Amino acid sequence: MTTALSPQQTITDITTLRALRDEAWASILQNAPWARFVMAGDYDRRFYGIYLTETFHYVKHNPKHQALVAVQATGQLWSYYRFCYEHAQEETGHEMMAFNDLINLGLTSDSVTLPPPHPATEVFIGYLYRVSTEGNPLRRLGYSFWAEDSYGYIGNLMKKITQQLALEARHTTFLVSHANIDEKHAEDVDKAIVQNCKKPDDWASLAEVMQTSLRLQSAMLDAVLEEYQALKANASDRYRFLNGGADT
């Protein structure tokens, strides 16, 4: 399920962590149904709309569980706690980028009531709260490590989807603008990892969270694909609100 480290393989630096991240992304891009579907190019804007809906839901919680790391911590890692609060501040309201992108797609109006998070999204959110409030307080950095630095991995997917759906800047503020904001974040995250990870468990639990949270986001994206197919087949009502202006 996760790329297991062999007993001999112990993580002790960020370079090994990067290699594991490369490996995890490579596996997803090659095998995940959603990734292959994106590159195959047979979809309309509702597919992207479902993605934005679920993204809105999980992104809303990012500052919350980020801050909870420091709220619940009992140790003395003050510079790390400051990182957590600062990062929470910077992530506040980012779900509105996804929401505005969704509205700008023209499939629905801004007075829409979105469906609640998909179960796959709730699983993702629930896991992030858990790693932020239990266990090694450094391990949530494993989520930030890929989430703030994903542009390099999904660049081709974004190019494809942008062409396919004739997307403009006002449809991709979450993915694109975010990429710029995240550049600074990614540096901060790397610095926080290097400064704070000292014990083997720090690295190991961080790597575990990196792999697991990336897998859960991929599962969320597979659910987006399934729901898109269900919507097209008229087999589910969950995202019917996106049928407004879709070329069905």
- Kindly list the residues in this chain that would bind a copy of itself in the complex (CB under 8 A): 1-2, 4-7, 63-64, 67-68, 70-71, 78, 81-82, 85-86, 88-89, 92-93, 96, 116, 119-120, 122-123, 125-131, 135, 205, 208-209, 211-212, 216, 219, 222-223, 226, 230, 234-237
Which residue lies nearer to a copy of itself by CB, 114 or 219? Answer: 219
Which residue lies nearer to a copy of itself by CB, 87 or 171? Answer: 87
Which residue lies nearer to a copy of itself by CB, 83 or 164? Answer: 83
Is the Cα torsion angle 199, 205, 206, 208 positive or negative in sign? positive
Which residue lies nearer to a copy of itself by CB, 167 or 227? Answer: 227
Single-letter amino acid, residue 84: C
DSSP category for residue 190: H
Q: d(Cα 109, Cα 172) in Å, to the nearest integer?
A: 17
Which residue lies nearer to a copy of itself by CB, 108 or 213? Answer: 213
Per-residue burial over 173-202, b = 16 or more CB atoms within 10 Å of its CB, e = otherwise: bbbbebbeebeebbebbbebbeebbeeeeb
Taking the complex as a whole, the smallest distance from the CB of residue 22 to a copy of itself amounts, in Å, to 19
Indicate the burial class of 219 (C-beta count within 10 angstroms; 0-12, 13-18, 19 or more): middle
Taking the complex as a whole, the smallest distance from the CB of residue 123 to a copy of itself amounts, in Å, to 5
Taking the complex as a whole, the smallest distance from the CB of residue 73 to a copy of itself amounts, in Å, to 9
Taking the complex as a whole, the smallest distance from the CB of residue 230 to a copy of itself amounts, in Å, to 6
- Vertex 25 angle, CA 214 and 30, to 5°: 120
Query: Which residue in this structure is represented by tokens 């992304």?
Result: 25
Indicate the burial class of 21 (C-beta count within 10 angstroms; 0-12, 13-18, 19 or more): buried
Given phi > 0 = left and psi -120 to 50 = alpha, else beta, which region is 135? left
Taking the complex as a whole, the smallest distance from the CB of residue 158 to a copy of itself amounts, in Å, to 24
Taking the complex as a whole, the smallest distance from the CB of residue 221 to a copy of itself amounts, in Å, to 12
Which residue lies nearer to a copy of itself by CB, 107 or 125? Answer: 125
Taking the complex as a whole, the smallest distance from the CB of residue 52 to a copy of itself amounts, in Å, to 18
Which residue lies nearer to a copy of itself by CB, 92 or 162? Answer: 92
